Structure 1
Amino acid sequence: MKLRQLQYVVEVIKNGMNVTAAADKLFTSQPGVSSQIKRLEEELGITIFERSGKHINGLTPEGTRLAERFERILNEVENVKRLADDFSHPNSGMLSIATTHTQARYVLPPVISAFRERYPDVQLQINQGTPEQIASLTDTGEADIGIATEALELFESLILLPCYRWNRCLMVPKGHPLAELPELTLAAIAEHPIITYTFGVADRSVINRAFKQENLDLNVVLTAADAEVIKAYVRTGLGIGIVARMAYDPRQDGDLVVLDAGNLFDSSVTSLAIRKNAVIREYVYEFIKLFADHLSREVVDQALAAQKDTSLQEKLYREYVEKAAMR
């Protein structure tokens, strides 16, 4: 039995039972993957995958149980490598961060600069995506850290560390009727077409909930994952933008009027996610603390130690939220 064979099985599963896609991801050939999986099945005396001809349809009951163990073994091998790297090369390596455009553009730059001063030999990789993509990248280990406001809780394999709270604002062109109101209300906003984040109109979103509570309908004409795209269409007059307050840049957005909406919508919490059972390298602890000062190494280790106790996890999460500063 070889680790590579276990990796082939796990990768096929991750790619929806598509052997060709798994082979592409692993930079090898489809026949090579199929051959190695067959050899593993022969060695174990068990059929891992259900097949129709050359096509894989799914896992057998035995394959399901084995696949879980294969993934744990591969994760532990990766942990051993990380631990060894921390001993031999504590100040060098790679840190992969999955996050949204808003975090990457408006929050992370000063954190990255400070981190680079301390760890110039650590290569940084930022993977931008939707909250769901960020959670998935962190879950699979393709990212060491995931930073987002939504969707991270969808994966039980992740530990969530609340970092900071933030509010929303409206962006409108100069001379817009909403900018002339003495008091901004949801009813007034509902009279205009809205442009906001792609995930912002989901049933669970703060924006949708606020309008539903007032029995108001949302007229969303455009959604985008990128605040810069939202602002661009606000400038065309397509609608009013509802974005994170941090996305307003007075140096670049002077042609727009920003209207505070902190009293209209509940604040949101941006969290940082790490995988349970992952070995955290020293420089990763440092990055986490630079991003959210209250998340010291002791706090992170406390959260990791509580991973098997759901009630304790929830208690710690509430405590961390209380410490999260407003941005």
Structure 2
Amino acid sequence: MEIRQLKYFIEVAKREHMTEAADVLHVAQSAVSRQISNLEAELGVSLFIRQGRKVRLTPIGRMFLDRTIQAMKMLDNATREVKEQLDPSRGTIRVSFPISLAAYIIPTAISAFREQYPEAKFQLKQATYHELIDLVLDGDYNMAILGPVPEHDERLYGHVLFTEKMVALVPINHHLAREPVLKLKQLKGESFILLPEKMKLREMITSACREQGFNPNVAFEGDDVDALKGLVSAGLGISVLPDSTVLENFPRATVKIPIVDPVVPRTVGIITAKDRKLLPTEELFFAFLKTFFSKWSASYS
């Protein structure tokens, strides 16, 4: 069994088409067909059901695909680890993160890290909260930065980098704009502008409002935090956001006001899988983040 055969197998399973897989692999279709046939002969089973030019996995093929993907991830990690042991400062850091950290927290941390390690490379992926957890558990990424940090998942290690509070963002001409602080109850009846349902940040805000005896009246939804800010600046409603999202970047036509009753906290940190260790360059970045945010939290608070 050859690595090349496994790569061909994964691509054909993904495309469900020999010719399309061959195009992606930049080889002849006959070469792909031959390697798949050789693999099936070696295993003694059929991995695909042929349907003209298309194929689909047999039940055994689906099982073998899952195992093969995991094996290839382990092989890729092993190859990267060998290279990074020689010089971790020049390796690649693969990290995933949510929308709410994309505008300020992640760029700030990466920029500071690159000042110390300019030859380090990054592969970044933005995803929703629950997708981030799955990406780490499935081995697609070894680490994710997210908020809040899961507390009771026995499959993950969670390290809190800092804790932040929620603030209200209101149009500058809003009747609450001159308030120094706000109680969450004061937002009852306001038109809320929030992320879509099933987003973790939306869940946190909705839950906090319900604990205060009301459901937020969601007038508009935006797919990212900048969209929410833009809608608030247009006077279409108010939003509740983590403070880190409006530290340096919020429209002039808006005002941010701390919410103090109750304080709605959000932990932000790193998750890693308990059954897998970080690669050397990832370890370097992990240690840097802990130091960086301990200093950042002290100045931020």
Equivalent residue pairs, number: 297
Q: What is the CA-CA distance between 1:277 and the residue it aligns to? A: 4.7
Corresponding residue to 1:125 among 123, 144, 157: 123
- Measure the CA separation in 2 of the matches of 1:265 and 1:53: 62
| Structure 2 counterparts to residues 197-216 of structure 1, below 5 A | 197-198=195-196, 205-216=203-214
Distance of 2:157 and 2:12 partners within structure 1: 26
Q: State the percentage of identical aligned residues.
A: 24
Question: 1:237: Cα distance to partner?
Answer: 1.1
One-letter code aligned to 1:148: L
How far 1:170 moved relative to its partner?
Answer: 0.8
In structure 2, distance between residues paired with 1:217 and 1:116: 43
Residue 40 (structure 1) shift: 1.5
CA distance in 1, matches of 2:176, 2:20: 52
Find the aligned partners of 2:11 and 2:130 in 1 and give their Cα distance: 19
Describe how 1:30-49 pairs up with structure 2 within 5 A: 31=29, 33=32, 36-49=35-48
Indicate how the Cα distance of structure 1 residues 221 and 20 shifts in structure 2: closer, same or farther if over 3 A, else same: farther
1:71 aligns with 2:69: yes
Preserved contact between residue 169 and residue 256 of structure 2 (Cα < 8 Å): yes
- Structure 2: segments with no counterpart, 5+ residues: none
Counterpart CA distance in 2 for 1:57 and 1:153 is 40
Give the drift of 1:196. Answer: 1.9
Amino acid at match of 1:118: Q
| Counterparts of 2:134 and 2:21, CA distance in 1 | 20
The 3 A distance-change label for structure 1 pair 181 and 221 is: same
- 5+ residue gaps, structure 1: 297-323
Structure 1: distance between partners of 2:133 and 2:114: 25
Bigger Cα displacement from structure 2, 89-98 vs 149-158? 149-158
Q: Deviations over 1:182-214 (max 9, x none)?
A: 863334313111112335766982112122334
Distance in 2 of aligned mates of 1:268 and 1:30: 53
Query: 1:174: which partner in 2?
Result: 172
Which one of 76, 87, 90 corresponds to residue 88 of structure 2?
90
Whole-angstrom CA distance in 1 between matches of 2:269 and 2:114:
22
Match of 1:115 among 113, 116, 127: 113
| SS of match in other structure, 1:76 | helix
Give the match for residue 5 of structure 2. Answer: 5
SS in 2 for 1:4: helix
Q: Deviations over 1:104-147 (max 9, x none)?
A: 32113342233223322212233333334544554565545322
**Alignment CA distance shift 1:224-1:33 (3 Å):** farther
8 A Cα contact 1:158 1:273, kept in partner = yes
CA deviations over 1:50-101 (Å, ceiling 9, x no partner): 56555455541x3354334323422331232122102333331222222234
Is the Cα–Cα contact under 8 Å of residues 130 and 225 in structure 1 kept in the other structure? no
Does the C-alpha gap of structure 1 residues 21 and 195 become closer, same or farther in structure 2, counting only changes over 3 Å? farther
